[in-house]
Structure 1
Amino acid sequence: MPVVRPVALAFAGLFVAAGASAQSAAPTPEIAGFIVTYAPGTAEAANANIAARRLSDASRQVARSGLMAKRGPSVGLGYQRRLSVGGDVLRATRLLAVDEAAAARAALAAQPGVARVEYDYVLQANLRPNDTRYAEQWAMTDADAGLRAEAAWDLSTGTGVIIGVLDTGIARHTDLDANVVPGYDFITSVTTAGDGNGRDADASDPGDFANGRNSSWHGTHVAGIAAARGNNAAGIAGLAFSAKVMPVRVLGRGGGTTSDIADAIVWASGGAVAGVPTLSAANAADVLNLSLGGPGTCTSALQSAIASAASRGVPVVVAAGNDARDAGAYTPANCPGVITVAAVGANSARASFSNFGAVVDVAAPGVSILSTANAGTQVPGAENFLAFSGTSMAAPYVSATLALVQARRTALRLSPLTVADQEALLKRSTYAAAAGCSGCGAGLLSAQAAVQAAGGASTTPTTPTNPTTPTNPTTPTNPTTPGTTFTQTFLNLTASTGTQMRTSLNVPAGARDLRIETSGGTGNADLFVSQGTAPTTAQATCKANAAGNAGLCAFATPVAGTYHVLINATAAFSGMTLKISYVQGGSTTPATFANDTDVAIRDNATASSAIAVSGRAATLSAPVTIDFALRHPASGELKVELVMPDGLVVLLHNRAGGATPNLAGRISLQAPGRAANGTWTLRVTDQVTGNTGLIDRWSLAF
């Protein structure tokens, strides 16, 4: 079995060099709402009560229009108060970015008597931690090779995210202890473990001294780089200083085996390992850091473990190695699906010891990095701080940046990113090394640009190209016989992140049950449909923008005319199908009834969304097709029920456990003789503490 060792501990002096600062992405302001000022002489300017009534009506119209839903769930907007300096405040139910607020601002400005509408910006303290040794942490702010950490901290400090550190375990340290959550010791060899036993729930580091070499306290140092307590007037600040660290002990005296590491990857990411209690979704790690490696090929065991973690949305960050060689010859740096990190010094040049090559994804500071450590030569002694060098020190900066990204998206109620999208975001957020850094992947890590991009800001302000109209494999003909169905299908659609596809169709008078539906494939495509005018992601008659490719816009009695379809690649997608259909006149069945108004699914509570059905036969004779799409970080917590007009409750989805995000389903219900007309209700119950979500949309077809 290959032995894997920590990738670090090549001590070196601090490189200092002057150079031009690389430009980062322009910051994206956040908006809490709007400040509306009426023109002097208007009744609204003179009387706050009149203004409140006018603006309350306007706010409801703007909220229902969906103008503010470009980057997340639909937004409520309500009147708050009149300012002492004049002007009336409208508050949104979540923070907005400028691009999604612009259309709403224009709509408010068009109201009679309004003189101007301003954004009510959210401002932040410019965070510079007060940790006593922060000035020695050159990597946070260095002009040539720094992380741009302070600008990132204004947006995210990693709250709510767990970083799994697969390493030597952690020694007690007052600048780290408060951010440590329970982990596990996965070393099976008692000799290697050095703590008197094999696997157990104690992930503390007893010391990894061996073969005349002192204990390294490597895991403690790596953990501090990622998430040492920040702004606590002591010691250092970890890059994600509000995140938690989960110590997972895989390295002991002489290193560790790939078999133990494979099990640890699966377990820490929330998977099941025989003989070890499985973590709940809330307690599993959100990102894994592996500052370890050695020469060799990637074993199938490691590949499978990494793929298992990715299936649960957990990225694996790996150090490139310290032998100044091609990282392609080192594992797990050469494993498919990992994020491999090279090291640079303060002059932005690749560190003399750092591995390099095609498998490297990004580079980060890794020379003379100050972090938490221990003074014991063999067993734990007094806590201290030491500066180490190595790609082991660079990797946790990348892991911590992903923690900042994930916390930022959670705070903005944005859908979680896939592992592939997280890697892509990191790469497009890098900047060029002032001194050049060959073999360093996409470039130097910028925590600032990555966190800004996580909230929707562009790191490379380019205009996406619009691909050609989707290729239709058949030429449909408009039906003329009443009751005949028109169907148009576009197969195997593929687009890169940020690109858009458009098509349109003419719907004749008398048509019914128009359905525009996306399905299948991988990635994340959002569907937008409007009648008469081309839709945008900010404004459309129908929006189907849940996670994944499943989307449906249905119109039971469509207006005759042109319907325009927009497919937006929120993330790259491939293999998707677009199907458009309607029935020409004739029979009154089937028809589709839909509700796409977002309803909050609150923690440990029940949410309901209703659809009123009328004009159908009194009782059901044909099956009813129920489609639903829910946004939730852990769909295994949800129970979904359908309440029929006569009160019958049908279980559509029972709580299954697990942390798979979002839930979409299509169910055919046989209920002959049951009442068809009346109120149908979708009822969703969150049965576990800790997460909230939305009923995005649902529909009935019969």
Structure 2
Amino acid sequence: MTYLTILSALTLGFAVGANATAQDTVRLVFQPASVQMQAEGLSGNTITSGCVRAPAADAQWCVDLSDVAAARAASFTGNHTATNAPSFQVQVLPAQGYQAEAIASLFNQDGRFGLVEVDEQTSVAPVEPPMVISDETDDNTEDSTDEDSTDNSTDVNDPNYTRYQKWYYFADHKTSASGADISGLWALIGLDKIKTQSAPLDVLVLDSEFETNTDVTYYDGRSFSTTALLTGGPFQRPNDDYSVRPEVDEVCDSHGLQVASVIGGTIDNNYGQAGVTNNVRLHALRVMTCGVGFMSDTANALRWLVGKPFTDSNLVTPYSGKPGIINMSLSAGYNECPNFMQDAINDVLAAGYTVVVAAGNQSSDSQLRTPGNCDGVITVGAIDRSGYLPPFTNRGANVDVMAQGVYMPVPTEDSHSTALASGTSFASPLVAGILAAVKRDTGADDDVLKLAVRITANPTQDPQCDAADVCGAGMVDAKNIQQFATDAVSGRLHTIEHALGNKTPCEQVWLLDYFGDKARLCSLYNVVFMRGYIEEGTTYQLVSIPMGANWQDVTPTVEGQFTQAEVKLSSLTPDTRQYGVQLCEAGVCGDVQLINAEQATEANRPAVCE
């Protein structure tokens, strides 16, 4: 009898020394304050080494900031290559009975040490106790279906595909309450292209233990974790070895492996389960040990991707891949995204990466967890197989989209068993895998991918999600993200065509005979904004300029503003004017996006209108 181990997602496998911040020490991040921060009254005019005292004079803390001071000096001269010094520096200080926040505040109030922030502990928070069920019965799993037990046909031959994937998150949302329509994505791209590596996209998985398993192949990796391996022991240092450390191998779970498998587990190998796509290179970036790390370690991994120095960066071989998708199934408690982490995220976004992160498993407001509360990331919450919010998932105004995160089949270190994992840790890589497949096939950039995720999402079953600022746009839809991105990249996101243009000649004649005179119908144009999608509170403003004019040099004429994503208009002249659309929200309209009007010209006028 084979057994399936149901593991809680983000389960902490604590090693002897995994409590890396000894309670008598704190970790602080020192960095120069930006001009904006200085304008807001934050320190940063100088970066110097020195000491501060507690108001009661019962404690003193001293720091050596020579590294970050060198970086600041280089920034003033404009010679950013003059030093390999990091832009921030971590200092481990004795607590002396004080909280880290209080000590950071003292340094900030002093004014000589730049901006000082707490280096909070990152973790993969536990969801539920592990439990074991037989592979031959599924009595303890939820939402078992007739198809699950009677339909043995599969698109691929991975044993767990039919039982745990095909009828759930791989299905479309009309078939499954948690359906992300990955099967539809496969059909659009072509399963052979999904399974075969051809100029694969780089996917960077920032996580904990990357165990080995037959189902997952890591292309490359690095270690950035500084977590101490033993209580009272030294902090680790970054290096090129991302493998599981022997000191913790027996007590840690396989979180990094499992997260990576959701994205790129080998498809159609008659083993385990199927990932979303295999046309990727999985980079294992270890930023935690035994599910515990520091936010500065994660920031350093991001900085490494764009070639920026950090403490001990000389110990790590530079990244040689290309910008792709980053997944971070981890979080730390911050009321707002710390500056050093936001800077690192800004760097990778500017370089062309897309960043997907887990909302967290604290059953609370996701805006209190980093990196989910950082700007520019795609924050993913979890739904169960019935489309409802599981108790553990965070939710809030910063959540962008939801995906199944309950009973996700993933591999374990033991190649003869499978885990059913639950948590936002597994909802996040599901979205990351979808975006990796779409980006590889279409070349869509981060802006297009974010818009596609948001605007194509489907409603969830849970009425809690009907309220604003709970579940983001709704449930992710892989197939429609692919279609949306394809049209966006090809310039067909917005279109104008003759109203009769998409009809057959017979249909055109019939419409003219039964629904109006020739002049009226032949002068109508069908205008479609955003592939027919519309968001609540968004309007579309149609604008135009003369043919041959430059949009930057001419003030556009407003042709109308619409709450519908598809309208019919008769006052357009596509042969003499260029058309564009602005998305408007709360009275503010964005940049002009061009409308493809090739099918609306006289040359493409329906024959029945001649």
TM-score range, shorter chain: 0.5 to 0.7
> Quick check: 2:209–2:257 contact (8 Å CA) kept in 1?
yes
Distance 2:262 2:251 in 1: 21
Percent sequence identity is 25
Give matches, 1:106-145, under 5 Å: 128-135=155-162, 136-137=164-165, 138-141=168-171, 143-145=176-178
- 8 Å Cα contact 1:164/1:268 also seen in 2: no
* 1:441 Cα deviation from its structure 2 partner: 1.0
2:487 aligns with one of 414, 435, 456: 456
The CA deviation at 1:139 is: 2.5
Instruction: Give the aligned partner of residue 288 of structure 1.
Output: 326
* Contact in 2 for aligned 1:191/1:253 (Cα 8 Å): no
What CA distance in whole angstroms lies between the structure 2 residues aligned with 1:163 and 1:127?
A: 27
* Per-residue CA distance 1:457-483 (angstroms, 9 max, x = gap): 89xx99889xxxxxxxxxxxxxxxxxx
**TM-score, length of structure 2 as denominator length:** 0.55
**2:305 corresponds to which of 233, 256, 268:** 268
CA contact under 8 A between 1:184 and 1:202: conserved in structure 2? yes
Aligned to 2:473: 442
AA in 1 matched with 2:372: A
Cα 1:576–1:570 change in 2 (3 A) is closer
Q: Establish whether residue 4 from structure 1 lines up as the match of residue 122 from structure 2.
A: yes
Check whether the contact 2:253–2:290 (CA below 8 A) recurs between aligned residues: no
Aligned with 1:311 (options 350, 354, 370):
350
Whole-Å separation in 2 of the counterparts to 1:320 and 1:208: 30
Equivalent residues of 1:209, 1:216 under 8 A apart = no
Q: 3-state DSSP class of the match of 2:479?
A: helix
Q: RMSD between aligned alpha carbons?
A: 3.9
Amino acid of the residue matched to residue 577 of structure 2?
Answer: H
Supply the AA of the counterpart residue of 1:564. R
Counterpart amino acid of 2:169?
Answer: A
Partner of 1:641: none
Aligned to 2:159, what secondary structure does the other structure show?
Answer: coil
Aligned to 1:409: 442
Say if 2:266 is the partner of 1:233. Answer: no
In structure 2, distance between residues paired with 1:503 and 1:354: 48
| Superposition deviation, residue 196 in structure 1 | 9.8
TM-superposed CA distance for 1:254, in Å, is: 5.9
Alignment match, 2:204: 164
**Change in 2 beyond 3 A, CA 1:229/1:9:** farther
Tell me if the contact between 2:331 and 2:369 (Cα under 8 Å) persists in the aligned partners. yes
Aligned equivalent of 1:205: 244
Name the residue aligned to 1:325: 364
Letter in 2 for 1:354: T
SS in structure 1 at match of 2:356: strand
Q: 2:222 aligns with which of 184, 192, 195?
A: 184
Q: Decide which of 382, 385, 390 is 1:346's aligned counterpart.
A: 385
Deviation for aligned residue 1:162: 1.8
1:400-453 C-alpha deviation (Å, 9 max, x unpaired): 11112102204xxxxx32x23321210112111134352211101111211121
Cα drift, residue 454 of structure 1: 1.7
Q: State the alpha-carbon separation in 1 of the partners of residues 474 and 181 from structure 2.
A: 14
Does residue 220 (structure 1) correspond to residue 338 (structure 2)? The answer is no
CA pair 152-249 structure 1, distance change in 2 beyond 3 A: same
Give the aligned partner of residue 610 of structure 1.
none
Change (3 A) 1:497 1:456: farther
**2:448 matched residue in structure 1:** 421
1:8–1:339 Cα change, 3 Å:
farther
CA–CA distance in structure 2, aligned partners of residues 129 and 320 of structure 1: 31
Q: Are 1:278 and 2:318 an aligned pair?
A: yes
Judged with a 3 Å threshold, the aligned counterparts in structure 2 of structure 1 residues 172 and 535 are, in CA distance, closer, same or farther, namely farther
- Cα drift, residue 566 of structure 1: 3.3
Larger relative strand fraction? 1
In 1, the alpha carbon distance for the partners of 2:328 and 2:186 equals: 24
Answer yes or no: is the 8 Å Cα contact 2:127–2:361 preserved in 1: no
Post-superposition shift, 1:15?
A: 2.7
Q: Distance in 2 between matches of 1:208 and 1:568?
A: 59
What is the match of residue 631 of structure 1?
Answer: none
For 1:404-553, list aligned pairs within 5 A.
404-410=437-443, 416-417=444-445, 419-438=446-465, 439-456=470-487, 500-504=542-546, 516-519=549-552
Match in the other structure for 2:577: 564
What amino acid is the match of 2:279?
S
CA contact 2:323–2:351 (8 Å) conserved in 1: no
Distance in 2 between residues matched to 1:330 and 1:577, nearest whole Å: 34
Q: Could you tell me whether the CA contact under 8 Å between 2:227 and 2:289 is conserved in 1? A: no
User: C-alpha distance in 2, partners of 1:371/1:261?
Assistant: 24
Alpha-carbon separation, structure 2, partners of 1:422 and 1:208: 41
- The question of whether the paired residues in 2 share the 8 Å contact of 1:187 and 1:251 is answered with yes
> What is the CA-CA distance between 1:192 and the residue it aligns to?
7.2
Tell me the equivalent position of 1:680: none
Distance across 1 between alignment mates of 2:539 and 2:262: 32
Structure 2 residue 407 is matched with structure 1 residue 368? yes
Deviations 1:44-79 (A, max 9, x none): xxxxxxxxxxxxxxxxxxxxxxxxxxxxxxxxxxxx
TM, length-normalised to structure 1: 0.48
Structure 1: gaps spanning 5 or more residues:
20-125, 376-381, 411-415, 466-495, 506-514, 521-532, 541-562, 579-702
- Seen in structure 2, the aligned counterparts of structure 1 residues 269 and 134 have a Cα distance that, compared at 3 Å, is farther
TM-superposed CA distance for 1:315, in Å, is 1.6
The within-5 A match list for 1:86-105 is: none
Deviation at 1:504, TM superposition (A): 2.7
Alpha-carbon distance in 1 for matches of 2:540, 2:145: 37
- Higher Cα Rg, which structure: 1
In the superposition, relative to structure 1, how do residues 261 and 197 fare at CA in structure 2: closer, same or farther (>3 Å)? closer
Q: Which has the higher helix share?
A: 2
Matched residue, 1:378: none
For residues 477 and 170 of structure 2, what CA distance do their matches in structure 1 show? 10
- Aligned with 1:517: secondary structure? coil
State the Cα distance separating 1:307 from its structure 2 match: 0.8
Counterpart residue identity of residue 212, structure 2: R
d(CA) in 1 for partners of 2:423 and 2:228? 28
Gaps of 5+ in 2: 1-118, 131-139, 147-152, 497-537, 554-570, 595-610
Preserved contact between residue 358 and residue 372 of structure 2 (Cα < 8 Å)? yes
Residues 292-351 of structure 1: per-residue CA shift (max 9 Å, x gap):
012223110110111111101212111111121111111111111111111111110011
Structure 1 residues 502-527: Cα deviation after superposition (integer angstroms, max 9, x where no partner): 1238xxxxxxxxx733459xxxxxxx
Alpha-carbon distance in structure 1 between the residues aligned to 2:317 and 2:439? 26
For the 8 Å contact 1:15–1:345, the answer to whether it is kept is no
Deviation at 1:169, TM superposition (A): 4.0
Partner of 1:15: 142
Structure possessing the higher relative contact order (Cα contacts under 8 Å, 6 or more residues apart)? 2
Report the Cα offset of residue 370 of structure 1.
0.8
Counterpart of 2:266, as a letter, is R
Paired amino acid for 2:341: L
1:161, CA displacement in angstroms?
A: 1.5
